[in-house]
Structure 1
Amino acid sequence: MPSAPPPDWVLTRRRAIGDRIRAARLDANLTQERLAELSGMDRQTINRIEQGHASPLLDNLIRIADALGTPLADLVR
């Protein structure tokens, strides 16, 4: 049985986190492909996280923050 979709406020926060990741990536002058390489992930996953379509694992958020040289708290505040 599939779980219920998350409430709208969760989706809004997820999109905001994706926006912060995208902004940090652009500030670092990185493409999605390069961020994916640096974080050990694939570009499609980075894209889904930035768009708010995927709910990233904490481990992946840590890897993204490390690849961006950004504190994790700055991405999820």
Structure 2
Amino acid sequence: MPSAAPQPEWVVAQRRAIGERIRATRLRERLTQETVALDSGIDRPSIVRIEQGQQSPTLDTLIRIADAIGVPLADLVS
């Protein structure tokens, strides 16, 4: 089975920017990664990878993270 083609750099840059917004918003709300993980039902290592831009979260995952942080989804992705 052929491997997936690498994402264009602009996509990777956007993924990193979203991860940075998630982290900044989480810190602004004074929440730990563990708290967001527990409240969202997403394991902490995934939260770490998403914040670092190493993992592409699904829309459902982003919705759960936004809810756990207590902000609208648009705050994390715009």
Give the TM-score, by structure 2 length: 0.96
What secondary structure is seen at the aligned counterpart in 2 of 1:70? coil
Query: Residue deviations 1:53-76, cap 9 Å, x none?
Result: 000011000000011111101101
Query: Residue deviations 1:10-68, cap 9 Å, x none?
Result: 00000000000001110111111111001001100000000000000110000000111
The alignment-based identity, stated in percent, is 64
Q: Which residue of 2 aligns with 1:70?
A: 71
Structure 1's consecutive aligned runs of 4 or more residues displaced over 4 angstroms after TM superposition are none
Over the aligned positions, Cα root-mean-square deviation in angstroms equals 0.6
Gaps of 5+ in 1: none
Aligned counterparts of 1:16 and 1:63: Cα–Cα separation in 2: 18
Aligned pairs for 1:31-50 within 5 A: 31-50=32-51
How many residue pairs were aligned? 77
Gaps of 5+ in 2: none
Give the TM-score, by structure 1 length: 0.97
